[in-house]
Chains A and B, each alone.
Chain A
């Protein structure tokens, strides 16, 4: 009974923190637009915000709820408090939420594998004279040639072994430079593991998050454009490729674990690329991974400093929940 109660209380805290933070994120994420950050940083921030409820609820559960229950809950067999109605109901809700997340991930993966297998049927390695940079980025034979008619013109598929699929129409339609820059764009998505991020989104469902995910997708496209383009010639080539391939977009909806080249607002992307100006680029705030270290250190110090009282408080809350 002790173990069951512990599990129920932990799951209750997990689902409460998850729902509370998700609701806050679903409302508050728009304020990120006020930040004058670069597209790559903004994409990172949007992703972090989207997964924050899941991460925070896992951390709170394992760092506070489980230890407080283990250390402060009396284990005597004479005291049988029972599980309590609220932890039981919320615990079941948490299990359903986790199961729903797993189901969404598995169906997304299965559907992607099925569709990609169909696209890859009869595909062969891309025999295009890509430059050294693209080859180095591509790694071990990631660029494929795909001849299926219903396949998208250019897309990144897969999570564990990502590959770039290029349709035969794309190869014949684009010039050498346009194809190279379009491939660079997809490889930028590969480097930032955008397919994996999409799969993680599937694992943490919550109503009202679709707009945040759509905003992330738009910003991720702009960030990949920025990575691919290094001068105005590249920008014009990428814009030309975007316009040409927009005419080839198939009607079939793309599965989750893919990032298509023709995604987001084409007009906005083309206009942004045509207005590319190296010299005139306004300086924007760039958030680097090491920027997270100082706030993390401060948080850790706070946690160590107040761990005992916080555990007591958490235990009091669990007691209140059980009764």
Chain B
């Protein structure tokens, strides 16, 4: 999630600090909450006013919705974590594609990065396969040894 948020570091999209991210995670896990409810279970060690200011900032960044409940507001995330992640990823790709003069150049960086990622992933899988094969061979070797001892 942190990775996705870091892509928000553009002027067009809101940038989120660690505490804002923490509050957003809390709200995703709860569905909706008031500031008092957020502070109630003791997982957030900040003053009431700090939390209130931060959720208000998230509301102004259009990441939260709020409704009046008594003398306070009840806050609800406007987007799911997946939606926000997808938006962040798309925004990052758009930024990358729009960053160079030659339009094919950023795309080639992307392809290069993906190929490198794929190759690394395949290397990891290859290692797993080889480890499993060695494990199997040693198991068969041991089984063979036991059998020959029994025959003797």
A, B assembled together: yes
Convert B88-125 into 0s and 1s, putting 1 for each residue whose CB lies closer than 8 angstroms to a CB of A.
00000000000000000000000000000011011001
Would A270 and B136 count as touching, CB distance under 8 A?
Answer: no
Chain A contact residues: helix, strand, loop or mixed: helix
Given A270-B128, A274-B128, A246:B122 Cβ within 8 A:
yes
Say whether B133 faces chain A, with CB atoms less than 8 Å apart.
yes
Please state if A236 and B132 are interface contacts (CB–CB under 8 Å).
Answer: yes
| Contact present for B133 and A236 (CB under 8 Å) | yes
Main secondary structure of the interface of B (DSSP, over half): helix
- B143 sits at the interface (CB 8 A): no
B contact residues around A246 at 8 Å (CB): 118, 122
Contact pick for B129, options A232, A233, A239, A247, CB 8 Å: A239
Size category of the B interface is: 10 to 19
Q: Is A267 an interface residue (CB 8 A)?
A: yes
B136 CB to closest chain A CB, in angstroms?
A: 6
Q: Is residue A115 within 8 Å, beta carbon to beta carbon, of the partner chain?
A: no
Contact (Cβ within 8 A) B136 A267 = no
Q: Given A270-B128, A274-B128, A274-B129: A232 and B136 within 8 A (CB)? A: yes
Closest to A270 in B: B125
- 0/1 interface trace, chain B 127-147, chain A, CB 8 Å (1 if under): 011001100100000000000
Report if A20 contacts B (CB, 8 A): no
- Enumerate chain B residues within 8 angstroms of A271, measured Cβ to Cβ: 128
Contact between chains at A243 and B136 (CB < 8 Å)? no
Query: B132 to A243, Cβ gap below 8 A?
Result: no
Q: How far is the CA of A48 from the CA of B132 in the complex (A)?
A: 37
| Complex: A271 Cα to B129 Cα, angstroms | 9
Report which of B122, B126, B136 forms a contact with A233, defined as CB distance below 8 A: B136
> Cβ of A236 and Cβ of B122 under 8 Å apart?
no
The 7 sampled A-B contact pairs (Cβ below 8 Å) are A232-B136, A236-B129, A243-B125, A243-B126, A246-B122, A247-B122, A266-B122
Which residues from chain A sit less than 8 Å from chain B, CB to CB? Answer: 232-233, 236, 239-240, 243-244, 246-247, 266-267, 270-271, 274
